[in-house]
Every structure is written in C-alpha cells, then in structure tokens.
C-alpha cells in the first residue's frame, strides 16, 4: 500500500463553535493517518514502540484551501517521501467527496529511543520506509525563527495533553495557542500553518509561552532553557 487513504465524516467532537474542523483535530487526523500507514507498511508498533522506539514529528507545514465543516465527509490521503538518512518526510492531502483538494501538508518525522530520547539511525533497526513520488508533494517545512512576542504566560503540561510518548502531543499545541488568541474564537479563516518542534515537553513540564499577534498572522513560541516549539498561523484578510 504505497498511498494510504481513510474517509471520515466530521462529527460534533471534531468541530469548533463555528462548525469548522478544529485545528487540533486536523492535525490529529493527519497524525492518525501517519500511524495507520506506517502500520500498513510493516513499520508500526511491533517494529517501533515494542522495541522502545518512538515516532516524533519535528516540523509541519499545512496549506488550507478550505477547512471542512461539521458533517462533511472527507478523505485523508498520505504517502511517505524519500527517507533522508534519519528523517522521514511525509505528505498529506485532505479531499472532499468530489475529490477537491481542501488541505495539503508536509511533515518531517524522526525515530527516537524511548529511554534516552535521542535520535536513532533507522538502518540499524531495519526500519525502512520506501519513498513514493506522486507529483502532488508540497514543499517541505523549514526551520523557523522569530523574535518572542509581547504577550507571555506560563504553561504547565496537563495530563490530558499527553500521549503514549509521555509528552505533550503536537496536536495540543494548537489548542494551547488558539485558546490564547482572538482569531480562533472570531472564526478567522486559516490559510497556512507552520510548526517547528525543538524539544519535547513532558507531562508536568513548565514552559514560557510568548505570542506575537498581528491582524493576519500569529507567532507563538514556547521556551524553557531552550526552544520547545514555534508555530506560525496565517489568516485570510
């Protein structure tokens, strides 16, 4: 199965107060597709988690042409790019029932040792994911750097934000950010999201969040001794 796809109908729990797919839920759908495809390719749980290896996402880039709504039936498609020694690029598309492109994304993944939390060399563990070229690949995310914003607050990672890796799941960074900016509740239309995850934040970890809020863009970063994450969200005018 070179390309994976899964069709879902969006339910109440998936959407926000404007009946649009929540940003965190969007990333959850992409993450679930990644996991499912990796399993289907034979590089899932028994080759990774059960051997003490964890899949972690490092960078994300998403272009939203049209955010799906409550009760929409969408198809999430994903395929792997060519492995870059230790990095696993992956591409995504979300299509509506007519096959219209709603969302496209790219992410870079890596495997780490569960105990040391250090990168591993996949060849040494016989973890091979052949890349696929469809011609629909969007550009890969890049490292982001921007000054800290004026609005700052402290945040402690709660139990409900953590996943099986024992750290804050990347989808919840979007809940965290959107709970503290006006654009989300105002129903502003997101056009592009970029994210860069430096170091994980474990359950109970405390970080300092800073926000730079412009009319059509927000930049959020979380730091504690070193940068933990950077997220940039651009909105339509």
Partner 1 sequence: METREKVLASIFKTIKDNVPDMFGSELSEDTVLNEKTNIDSMGFILVLTKLEGEFGVKIPDEKWNDIRTIRDLADMILAYMPKN
Positions in the binding site for partner 1 (CB under 8 A): 58, 84-87, 110, 118-119, 121, 123-124, 142-143, 145, 198
Using alpha carbons, select from 170, 190, 186 the residue that is nearest to residue 58. 170
Is the CB of 68 or the CB of 81 nearer to partner 1?
Answer: 81
SS3 for the chain is CCCEEEEEECCHHHECCCCEECHHHHHHHHHHHHHHHHHHCCCCHHHCHHHCEEEEEEEEEEEECCCCECCCEEEEEEEECCCECCEEEEEEEEECCCCCEEEEEEEEEEEEECCCCCECCHHHHCCCCCCCCCCCCCCCCCCCCCCCCCEEEEEECCHHHECCCCEECHHHHHHHHHCCCHHHHHCCCEEEEEEEECCCCECCCEEEEEEEECCCEEEEEEEECEEEEEEEEEECC
Is the CB of 121 or the CB of 153 nearer to partner 1?
Answer: 121
Is the CB of 97 or the CB of 123 nearer to partner 1?
Answer: 123
Is the CB of 1 or the CB of 142 nearer to partner 1?
Answer: 142
Is the CB of 30 or the CB of 108 nearer to partner 1?
Answer: 108
| Shortest distance in whole angstroms from residue 150 CB to partner 1 | 20
| Shortest distance in whole angstroms from residue 111 CB to partner 1 | 12
The label of the residue with tokens 């992409």 reads 30
| Shortest distance in whole angstroms from residue 146 CB to partner 1 | 9
Using alpha carbons, select from 105, 93, 170, 88 the residue that is nearest to residue 139. 105
| Shortest distance in whole angstroms from residue 236 CB to partner 1 | 28
| Shortest distance in whole angstroms from residue 149 CB to partner 1 | 16
| Shortest distance in whole angstroms from residue 117 CB to partner 1 | 8
Is the CB of 35 or the CB of 84 nearer to partner 1?
Answer: 84
Is the CB of 49 or the CB of 87 nearer to partner 1?
Answer: 87
| Shortest distance in whole angstroms from residue 145 CB to partner 1 | 4
Between CA 191 and CA 138 the distance in angstroms is 15
């Amino acid at each position: 199965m070179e390309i994976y796809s899964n069709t879902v109908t969006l339910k109440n729990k998936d959407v926000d107060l404007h009946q649009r797919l929540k940003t965190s839920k969007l990333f959850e759908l992409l993450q679930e597709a990644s996991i499912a495809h990796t399993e289907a390719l034979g590089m899932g749980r028994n080759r990774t988690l059960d051997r003490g290896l964890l899949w972690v996402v490092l960078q994300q880039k998403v272009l939203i042409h049209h955010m799906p709504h409550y009760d929409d039936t969408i198809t999430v498609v994903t395929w792997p790019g060519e492995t870059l020694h230790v990095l696993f690029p992956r591409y995504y598309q979300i299509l509506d029932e007519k096959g219209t492109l709603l969302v496209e994304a790219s992410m870079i993944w890596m495997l780490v040792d569960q105990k040391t939390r250090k990168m591993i060399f996949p060849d040494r563990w016989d973890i091979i994911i052949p890349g696929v070229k469809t011609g629909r690949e969007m550009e890969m995310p890049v490292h982001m750097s921007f000054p800290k914003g004026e609005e700052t607050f402290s945040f402690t990672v709660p139990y409900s934000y953590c996943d099986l890796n024992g750290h804050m799941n990347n989808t919840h960074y979007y809940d965290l950010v959107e709970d503290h900016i006006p654009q989300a509740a105002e129903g502003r239309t997101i056009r592009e999201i970029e994210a860069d995850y430096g170091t994980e934040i474990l359950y109970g970890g405390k970080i300092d969040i800073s926000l730079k809020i412009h009319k059509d863009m927000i930049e959020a970063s979380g730091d504690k001794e070193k940068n933990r994450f950077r997220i940039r969200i651009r909105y339509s005018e």
